[in-house]
Chains A and B, each alone.
Chain A
Amino acid sequence: MTLKRLLSERRAAILEKWRDRVFACYPPETASFLKREADRFSNPVAHRLTEGLKGIYATLLGEAPAAEVTAQLDEVLRIWAVQDFTPSQALAFVFFLKPIIREELAGELKADAGLTAELLDLESRLDGVALLGFDVYMRRREKLSDLKVSEMKARISGLLRRVGVDPSTL
């Protein structure tokens, strides 16, 4: 059986562990809330983080085009770029997946040496995902600075138009 097939079969269990590990980055009260509340609107952070993880996982398995991984990373990182996460803290979550997969598939990996080679390849792809993540995180931080500037202009945009300046061209 190929690694991808196994990962697809164990998707629910692996994703749940990955998600729980991600939630554990928050204080305990928050982590337990993130896990408990199922409504996506009453618990938006959990919902969007979970969606992001699901998407990245599917892309790793080749179920979604690789180009989508940036958008999936953004799902997670746009939240952490405004929360208390430094870049290294924000990107660590990608690496959480490695030990989780190894643990979950421990038996199979022992039994089938061919799987290990596949796993090494997948792990190296994960490293690539993390590197892309740095770009995504940085773009979000840049977006925040842009917003500060554009909001300053927006505050007097009517006035600018009054004097014949188009605020969007500034």
Chain B
Amino acid sequence: MSLPKPEELARVNYQPPARGWMEVKPDFRPGTYCNAASPKWLEWIDYPYPRQWSVAEEDWQLPENWKEIVLEGMEDRLARFRSLKLFFDICVRCGACADKCHFFLGTGDPKNMPVLRAELLRSVYKRYFTRIGKALGELVGARDLDEKVIKEWFFYLYQCTICRRCSLFCPYGIDMAEMTLLGREMLASIGINIDWAMASVAQCYDKGSHIGATPQAFKDMIDFLAEENERITGIKTPVSYNRKGAEILFVTPSGDYFADPGTFTLMGYLLLFTYLDLDWTFSTYAAEGGNFGWFVSHEMGKRLNAKIYHEAERLKVKWILGGECGHMWRVCNQYMPTWFGQVPSFLEVPVSPVTGTVFENARVHKMVHISEFTADLLRHNKLKLDPQRNAHIKLTFHDSCNTSRGMGIFEEPRYIIQHVLPEGHFFEMPPNTIREKTFCCGSSSGINANENMELRMQGGFPRANAVRYVHERYGVNHLGCICALDRATLPTLLQYWVPEVEVTGITELVGNALVFEGEIERTTDLRDRDLVGVGEQEGGEEEE
């Protein structure tokens, strides 16, 4: 062997997929995949083929008849989901989606082009379910299902955050997110799951929240945050739990009560509800708004989601209010009544008790997003606000894929921001990175595992790149969002790419700005940071 020249060293080992994409196999490099699910979790939820296996090892210990299971699973799904068959058949390989995925942009791996991600599944479909594929095989892009294919599915279906950015650009609206979900279901059917998602699912199923908190711990934590509110603002923000006959059931993801900065958003909710004297309750049973089950299978999503309506019925509330969450919102808005099997007749069409607004958009599922609720309050001038209390914040807003591209919540958070921030403190990121075209956080859909850090940093790079632009150009120091997964994962992303920018929920800013009758003078925000202007008289400092 001769010693290498720099040019020889630098050649990263890829081959052109245009020719041989089927031959290029994934390299399971640490940092770019999630660990295999521990059998314990699968046993808890009665999921098939629990076993100890490792992604890095050659033998994944698939069940003997794994191929049969997968092909039967595909046949079954082709019959149940017309969309799947349609997506398989109508793609014309136009390439419009190719460079729209943040994972392609961040990793530079061509197999992260959505069109190729779909091809991983489609090639198997062609081989076993189309006449031409059965006859001509690889000539028409069909291929045999073998263990290598399964490994590729695993690698690339967990490098998709089901964000749907690609489908926005597809002339046929082909929805890769749907395919990824169904592909993950088929993997789960032969016992291939990731630990981070399955641990959260099992804990949620068993104890009620992803983090595995007991009802006591849930209550204890929220009581603590109410005390924090009192310490900082002097205002008591009473919380009620499992209170029958309350008008509203409030559901939020566990990120909001266990992890900063979500906790500050939760303090904001409590302040807002107190200010309005709302008749609301938490449920210690429906203590998790998030739903990692949906990242695993439709069936598991349904299982974890069921408690929300059940609690609403048991507590005899009129309607449900949801906290700031992205995927919770997509699940509750798009799936919940279908999973439940009927329109929940025990609930009423949500009406704001403060403004009288009827939330027609929630007529079916009976659940309102806190941003819709708050924006309506502002529209009716029901909140007294002092935006100067947010004067230390220069904000940009990240549209979370699920609330924005998924559900069309674009204006409400911006409308709130306008009211709670001083003028000139809000700066949009460039148009091709927000609203429908927003770039994903890169860590959603259950892949925000610690061991998957490199991949997450790559997937979130397009987002961070736009944040850095507004930071450098306008001095933006906070990234706002209305999603708990964002609040959990964006801080890490930004610490790598733009460490000067912190992450905040929008209701936290509302909490800072809300002016209560007879309140004590506020000197800090909800995070104990000095407000602009505080202490300056004594110190004689000048405002910057």
Interface string of B76-107 (1 = CB under 8 A from A): 00000000000000000000001100001111
Chain B: which residue is nearest A22 at the CB level? B10
Cβ of B109: which chain A residues have Cβ within 8 Å of it? 27, 30, 84
Could you tell me if A79 and B453 are in contact, using CB atoms closer than 8 angstroms? no
Could you tell me if B99 and A37 are in contact, using CB atoms closer than 8 angstroms? yes
Could you tell me if A25 and B29 are in contact, using CB atoms closer than 8 angstroms? no
Task: Please tell me if B461 contacts chain A, counting CB pairs below 8 Å.
Answer: yes
- Give which listed residue, A47, A155, A162, contacts B465 with CB less than 8 A: A47
Interface string of A127-146 (1 = CB under 8 A from B): 00000000000000001100
Bound CA span A158–B259, Å: 5
Known: A92-B7, A167-B260. A85 touches B462 (CB 8 A): no
Task: Please tell me if A147 contacts chain B, counting CB pairs below 8 Å.
Answer: yes
Cβ of A42: which chain B residues have Cβ within 8 Å of it? 99, 105, 432
Chain A: which residue is nearest B434 at the CB level? A41
Task: Please tell me if B372 contacts chain A, counting CB pairs below 8 Å.
Answer: no
Chain B: which residue is nearest A148 at the CB level? B450
| B434 to A: closest C-beta gap in Å | 10
Task: Please tell me if B535 contacts chain A, counting CB pairs below 8 Å.
Answer: no
Chain B: which residue is nearest A88 at the CB level? B9
Cβ of B16: which chain A residues have Cβ within 8 Å of it? 27-29
Could you tell me if A26 and B453 are in contact, using CB atoms closer than 8 angstroms? no
Could you tell me if A83 and B453 are in contact, using CB atoms closer than 8 angstroms? no
Bound CA span A88–B458, Å: 20
Cβ of B453: which chain A residues have Cβ within 8 Å of it? 82, 144, 147-148
| B406 to A: closest C-beta gap in Å | 21
Task: Please tell me if A103 contacts chain B, counting CB pairs below 8 Å.
Answer: no
Chain A: which residue is nearest B462 at the CB level? A44
Stretch in contact with the other chain, from B170-178, B387-395, B397-405, B489-497: B489-497
Known: A26-B108, A84-B29, A158-B259. A79 touches B461 (CB 8 A): yes
Bound CA span A83–B12, Å: 10
Known: A79-B461, A151-B450. A41 touches B433 (CB 8 A): yes
Stretch in contact with the other chain, from B39-47, B150-158, B218-226, B245-253: B218-226
- Give which listed residue, B11, B108, B491, contacts A154 with CB less than 8 A: B491
Task: Please tell me if B190 contacts chain A, counting CB pairs below 8 Å.
Answer: no
| Contact-residue size bin, chain B (C-beta under 8 Å from the other chain) | 35 or more
Task: Please tell me if A43 contacts chain B, counting CB pairs below 8 Å.
Answer: yes
- Give which listed residue, B225, B259, B430, B495, contacts A156 with CB less than 8 A: B259
Most buried by B among A43, A48, A85, A92: A92
Could you tell me if A27 and B260 are in contact, using CB atoms closer than 8 angstroms? no
Could you tell me if B10 and A162 are in contact, using CB atoms closer than 8 angstroms? no
Chain B: which residue is nearest A85 at the CB level? B12
Could you tell me if A157 and B260 are in contact, using CB atoms closer than 8 angstroms? yes
| B100 to A: closest C-beta gap in Å | 8
| B396 to A: closest C-beta gap in Å | 13
- Give which listed residue, B13, B110, B211, B461, contacts A45 with CB less than 8 A: B461
Could you tell me if A44 and B465 are in contact, using CB atoms closer than 8 angstroms? yes
Interface string of B1-44 (1 = CB under 8 A from A): 00000110111111111100000000101010000000000000
Could you tell me if A155 and B488 are in contact, using CB atoms closer than 8 angstroms? yes
Task: Please tell me if B262 contacts chain A, counting CB pairs below 8 Å.
Answer: yes
Bound CA span A62–B433, Å: 36
Instruction: Identify whether the interface residues of B are mostly helix, strand, loop, or mixed.
Output: helix
Most buried by B among A28, A84, A157: A84
Bound CA span A162–B27, Å: 42
Chain A: which residue is nearest B112 at the CB level? A30
* Residues 4-34 of A at the B interface (beta carbon under 8 Å): 21, 25-30, 33-34
Could you tell me if B9 and A162 are in contact, using CB atoms closer than 8 angstroms? no
* Residues 60-108 of A at the B interface (beta carbon under 8 Å): 78-79, 82-85, 88-89, 92-96
Bound CA span A94–B9, Å: 12
Cβ of B14: which chain A residues have Cβ within 8 Å of it? 26-27, 30
Bound CA span A158–B484, Å: 14
Could you tell me if B6 and A92 are in contact, using CB atoms closer than 8 angstroms? yes
Task: Please tell me if A124 contacts chain B, counting CB pairs below 8 Å.
Answer: no
Task: Please tell me if A165 contacts chain B, counting CB pairs below 8 Å.
Answer: no
Task: Please tell me if B258 contacts chain A, counting CB pairs below 8 Å.
Answer: yes
Task: Please tell me if B336 contacts chain A, counting CB pairs below 8 Å.
Answer: no
Chain A: which residue is nearest B220 at the CB level? A162
Task: Please tell me if B466 contacts chain A, counting CB pairs below 8 Å.
Answer: yes
Could you tell me if B457 and A144 are in contact, using CB atoms closer than 8 angstroms? yes
Bound CA span A88–B31, Å: 18
Chain B: which residue is nearest A155 at the CB level? B259
Cβ of A148: which chain B residues have Cβ within 8 Å of it? 450-451, 453
Bound CA span A66–B430, Å: 32
Could you tell me if B221 and A158 are in contact, using CB atoms closer than 8 angstroms? yes
Could you tell me if B6 and A150 are in contact, using CB atoms closer than 8 angstroms? no
Cβ of B220: which chain A residues have Cβ within 8 Å of it? 162
Chain B: which residue is nearest A168 at the CB level? B260
Known: A37-B99, A158-B257. A82 touches B457 (CB 8 A): yes
Cβ of A161: which chain B residues have Cβ within 8 Å of it? 224, 260, 263
Query: A29-B110, A96-B7 given. 9 additional CB < 8 A pairs?
Result: A27-B16, A28-B18, A29-B17, A78-B497, A82-B31, A143-B495, A154-B492, A158-B258, A158-B263
- Interchain residue pairs A-B with the least CB separation, the first 4: A27-B14, A95-B6, A92-B6, A44-B465
Q: A residues near B, CB below 8 A?
A: 21, 25-30, 33-34, 37, 39-45, 47-48, 78-79, 82-85, 88-89, 92-96, 143-144, 147-148, 150-152, 154-159, 161-162, 167
Name 14 interchain pairs, CB-CB below 8 A, sorted by A.
Answer: A30-B108, A30-B109, A33-B98, A43-B105, A45-B106, A84-B29, A93-B10, A96-B10, A150-B492, A152-B450, A155-B259, A158-B221, A158-B257, A162-B220
